[in-house]
Amino acid sequence: MPKAQETVLEIDLKALQHNFEYLKSKLKPTTKFLAVVKAFAYGSDPCEIALFLQDLEVDYFAVAYTEEGIAIRTAGITKPILVLHPQTVDFEYLIEYDLEPSLYNQKILNEFIAKLSEKQIANYPIHLKFNTGLNRLGFWHTEVETIAKILSETTTVKVESLLSHLAASEDLNEKAFSLKQIEDFKAISENFTKQVGYKPLHHICNTSGILNYPEAHFDMVRSGIGLYGFGNSKKENPFFKPVATLKTVISQIHNIVPGESIGYNRAYKTDVHLRSATLPIGHADGIGRPYGNGKGFVTINGKKAPILGNVCMDMIMVNVTDIDCNEGDEVIIFGKSPNAEELAGAANTISYELITSISQRVKRIFIK
């Protein structure tokens, strides 16, 4: 691998394939696989990731918002694309680009039907989300009959799937809650099928659901974080390979004498001699202020270098007193070791937040 000469995010497509194949190995051959590529494919690159996964024969894709779906559709994705949180203002574009909405209350269902009626469109694929305990989006189980009545009065839509979302599938201390969600979803699905006279796809499992609740794989599963290299548990993490490695370089090294301070607001003051290295990456690139003042760290020549003082917009300073390094040397922010989960934990957050925060101004490099 060539050494970094600037701040870059390396995206390892072989690691992505490994993660996909590992997750697929947990499924029955008939279970469909939906790849989640929202939030710039968890901070990487949605178009490159989606095109690669399409070649691996993923069955479905999911994004959060319509604009994200348009981006991967225009990049060449021909597989179905589920929009998890559509907004009524985007219905025109959603239809134009053949995107499939997840509808979650009667208001949005009726408004989408009205838009299709206006365009004289029939049998447009939709997905219905039911709330089984996450309490974020979704119809209630008591609305099944009302939904069935609405559907019986129109030919504009055809329900492709019913879905719900596990709230704590990674936490085995909450197993009873997850099992209750699964049972509630099964009851909703059975009632819906009875009411409308046909059986859509059913799916509730996210990455941790795939790993911990094989009895709930149903017709399709959805994976986001697992594809990008995290199994959400000490037991599973070794089987995954982080896809993204964030690298930068040392711009300058300073010899700091006792009594001097480093960075904004003089947040770090030293009473000893030390060497600091300045790196061209900051909170505008996704390394937020919570990583400052010794909480976060980088790796230089295999050794940890704690962040000194406050994180700046475009730079951080790190302690390299005990590290043999020079200006121009490569720096690892996160990658395979330490990975994003380890760095995120140092700032009391999670890998999801860290990897999705990496700015689009950071150059992406693809390793194929």
| Same domain flag for 124 and 39 | yes
Residue 108 included in any domain: yes
With cut-offs at 50, 70 and 90, classify the pLDDT of residue 2: confident
| Same domain flag for 145 and 272 | no
38, 129, 241, 247: the active-site residue: 38
| Same domain flag for 128 and 162 | yes
Structural domain count, the chain? 2
Residue 24 included in any domain: no
Residue 352 included in any domain: yes
Residue 206 included in any domain: yes
List strands edge to edge, sheet with 201-203.
Answer: 201-203, 157-163, 124-129, 100-103, 81-83, 60-63, 32-36, 220-223
Of 57, 56, 59, 95, the residue nearest 80 (C-alpha): 59
38 is catalytic: yes
| Same domain flag for 224 and 249 | no
Cα 11 to Cα 283: distance, rounded to the nearest angstrom: 21
| Same domain flag for 217 and 123 | yes
| Same domain flag for 200 and 100 | yes
Per-residue pLDDT tens digits for 148-186: 999 999 999 999 999 999 999 999 999 999 999 999 999
With cut-offs at 50, 70 and 90, classify the pLDDT of residue 1: low
| Same domain flag for 219 and 285 | no
pLDDT of 70 reads 98
Please identify, among 176, 193, 228, the residue that sits at the C-terminal boundary of a domain: 228
Residue 185 included in any domain: yes
| Same domain flag for 209 and 300 | no
Residue 13 included in any domain: no
Per-residue pLDDT tens digits for 302-316: 999 999 999 999 999
Average pLDDT, the chain: 97
Q: Find the CATH number of the domain harbouring 326.
A: 2.40.37.10
| Same domain flag for 185 and 249 | no
| Same domain flag for 154 and 250 | no
Q: Find the CATH number of the domain harbouring 140.
A: 3.20.20.10
Please identify, among 228, 253, 278, the residue that sits at the C-terminal boundary of a domain: 228
| Same domain flag for 188 and 118 | yes
Domain that holds residue 292: 244-367
Per-residue pLDDT tens digits for 14-38: 999 999 999 999 999 999 999 999 9
Share of the chain above pLDDT 90, in %: 99
Q: What is the mean pLDDT of residues 330-340?
A: 96
pLDDT of 97 reads 98
- The residues, ordered by sequence, that sit 6+ positions from 58 with a Cβ below 8 Å of its Cβ are 20, 33, 34, 35, 79
| Same domain flag for 162 and 304 | no
Residue 5 included in any domain: no
115 is catalytic: no
Residue 9 included in any domain: no
32, 115, 264, 336: the active-site residue: 264
Length of the chain: 368
pLDDT of 110 reads 98
